[in-house]
């Protein structure tokens, strides 16, 4: 029995793995930075309660999964998964550009809109993720490949939460966060071109 880590050397797996990892990283940098920003500086952005916002905002990100998952699954069945992954990453660049503008302008409506659209972009990528692996991996690699994707996702979540909180509370947090989220999105698209 070989280790599933050998898949990271495979061109049929590595770009997809990195695309998924960077997407999860960006989701969590953005969400955590937004919640940290509102927790520490809500008074300068809105009159709404920081506690209320910290409760509602994760739901704004998750709402598109509830609304669009079935439709995105049908799209993933109908169209080329590699193309959908790349389109999803292009959409992420646009959404993170909007989010960057929201951070710099300290605009809660722009940030909430970007959060919802980031959830929608992730909803589009989700079915692609589950449909792509069985196409690219051998039967005896599929469980290990799924495990690698899950491991990468949870590492990205952890790093994204730490990085997002740090960026939001830094001296030039809005500029640093904006640069980071757009940079990760561009890198994610670049990596996705290898799928």
Distance CA 183, CA 97 (A): 10
Has this prediction a pTM greater than 0.75? yes
Query: What end-to-end distance do the CA atoms of the chain give, in Å?
Result: 26
Alpha-carbon torsion (44, 61, 63, 71), positive or negative: positive
- pLDDT-derived band at 133, boundaries 50, 70, 90: confident
| Packed helices 14-45 and 173-192: angle between N→C axes, nearest 10 degrees | 160
How many Å apart are CA 23 and CA 14, to the nearest integer?
14
Task: Say yes or no to pLDDT of 12 above 50.
Answer: yes
- For the packed helices 108-136 and 142-169, what is the interaxial angle rounded to 10 degrees? 160
List pLDDT tens digits, range 172-186: 888 999 999 999 999
């Amino acid at each position: 029995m070989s280790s599933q880590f050998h898949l990271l050397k495979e061109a049929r797996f590595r770009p997809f793995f990195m695309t998924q990892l960077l997407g999860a990283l960006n989701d969590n940098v953005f969400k955590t930075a937004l919640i940290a920003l509102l927790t520490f500086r809500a008074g300068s952005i809105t009159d709404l309660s920081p506690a209320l916002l910290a409760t509602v905002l994760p739901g704004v990100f998750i709402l598109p999964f509830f609304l669009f998952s079935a439709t995105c699954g049908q799209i993933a069945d109908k169209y080329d998964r590699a193309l959908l992954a790349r389109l999803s990453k292009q959409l992420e660049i646009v959404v993170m550009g909007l989010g960057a503008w929201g951070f710099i302008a300290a605009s809660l409506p722009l940030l909430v809109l970007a959060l919802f659209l980031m959830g929608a972009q992730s909803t589009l990528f989700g079915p692609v993720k589950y449909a792509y692996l069985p196409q690219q991996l051998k039967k005896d690699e599929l469980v290990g490949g799924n495990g690698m994707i899950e491991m990468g996702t949870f590492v990205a979540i952890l790093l994204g939460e730490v990085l997002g909180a740090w960026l939001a509370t830094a001296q030039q947090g809005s500029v640093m966060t904006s640069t980071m989220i757009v940079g990760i999105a561009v890198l994610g698209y670049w990596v996705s071109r290898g799928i």
